[in-house]
């Protein structure tokens, strides 16, 4: 893989911003069914601000990813801004500043990001949240690394694991956030946060691998 640099990190963020823009209506529609119909517009606003950050303004990739996290916390309302912002802040803190980062180091950083989301959102596996995509993603990532996968292959495994977790949220009853007010009626809809989180890891697999 290419060594991590501000330009490589910016390519990941720009790719994700584009995917979010293309899928904003889908994310908002899912949130309309079980939430408050703002997930697509919130993520679109936040990632547009993140994509506007200039790689040249940062000494290393971790500094850019930290700024991305702060930008999401500051520009996105609702739960998703603080949750995605915390993911990037913890990821940035756990990553070597830039350079050649191996699969184990990426795994440690991604796990730190997941823990940040759990600390912030207090969600567990099975609550029908983004944790239900990220947890199987990291299990698949670690299994791939144990089998000798490089960063690219491990990130692809993670994205596929996230997609399986995302699909499994359809049958779950929400136990966190606004969707939990619906109780049984939340069953049958794919979780919007698990959906956008899967898109983030798919972007990572395409741009970081």
Q: Is 56 exposed, middle or buried (0-12, 13-18, 19+ CB in 10 A)?
A: exposed
- Cβ nearer to Mg ion, comparing 81 with 107: 81
- Cβ nearer to Mg ion, comparing 38 with 191: 38
Residue 36 in the binding site for Mg ion (CB under 5 A): yes
169 neighbors 208 (Cβ within 8 angstroms): no
CA atoms of 118 and 180, how far apart (whole Å): 17
- Cβ nearer to Mg ion, comparing 83 with 162: 83
Q: Nearest residue to Mg ion, using CB?
A: 35
User: What residues have CB less than 8 Å from 205, skipping those under 6 apart?
Assistant: 152, 155, 156, 158, 159
74 neighbors 68 (Cβ within 8 angstroms): no
Alpha helices in 52-168 (DSSP H): 61-75, 80-94, 103-121, 131-146, 151-168
Residue 31 in the binding site for Mg ion (CB under 5 A): yes
Rg of the Cα atoms in the chain: 16
- Cβ nearer to Mg ion, comparing 37 with 55: 37
Q: How far is the CB of 34 from Mg ion (least distance, A)?
A: 9
User: What residues have CB less than 8 Å from 77, skipping those under 6 apart?
Assistant: 38, 42
- Cβ nearer to Mg ion, comparing 35 with 46: 35
**Position among 6, 27, 38, 186 found at the interface with Mg ion (CB under 5 A):** 38
Q: How far is the CB of 40 from Mg ion (least distance, A)?
A: 9
Helix (H, G, I), strand (E, B), or coil: what is residue 14?
Answer: helix
- Cβ nearer to Mg ion, comparing 15 with 31: 31
Site for Mg ion in 58-117 (CB under 5 A): 78
**Position among 6, 35, 85, 116 found at the interface with Mg ion (CB under 5 A):** 35
Q: How far is the CB of 98 from Mg ion (least distance, A)?
A: 34
Count of residues interacting with Mg ion (CB under 5 A)? 6
Residue 29 in the binding site for Mg ion (CB under 5 A): no
The contact set with Mg ion (CB under 5 A) reads: 31, 35-36, 38-39, 78
């Amino acid at each position: 893989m290419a060594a991590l640099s501000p330009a490589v990190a910016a390519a990941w963020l720009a790719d994700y911003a584009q995917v979010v823009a293309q899928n904003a209506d889908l994310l908002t529609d899912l949130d309309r069914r079980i939430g408050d119909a703002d997930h697509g517009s919130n993520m679109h606003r936040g990632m547009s601000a993140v994509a506007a950050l200039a790689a040249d303004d940062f000494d290393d990739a971790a500094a850019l990813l930290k700024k991305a996290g702060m930008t999401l916390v500051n520009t996105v309302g609702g739960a998703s801004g603080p949750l995605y912002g915390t993911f990037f802040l913890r990821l940035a803190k756990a990553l070597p500043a830039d350079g050649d980062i191996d699969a184990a180091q990426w795994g440690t950083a991604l796990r730190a990001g997941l823990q940040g989301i759990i600390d912030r959102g207090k969600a567990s596996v099975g609550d029908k949240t983004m944790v239900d995509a990220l947890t199987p993603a990291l299990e698949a990532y670690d299994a791939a690394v144990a089998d000798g996968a490089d960063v690219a292959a491990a990130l692809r495994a993670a994205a596929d694991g996230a997609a399986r977790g995302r699909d499994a949220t359809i049958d779950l009853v929400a136990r966190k956030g606004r969707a939990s007010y619906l109780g049984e009626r939340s069953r049958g809809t794919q979780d919007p946060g698990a959906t956008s989180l899967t898109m983030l890891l798919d972007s990572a697999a395409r741009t970081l691998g």
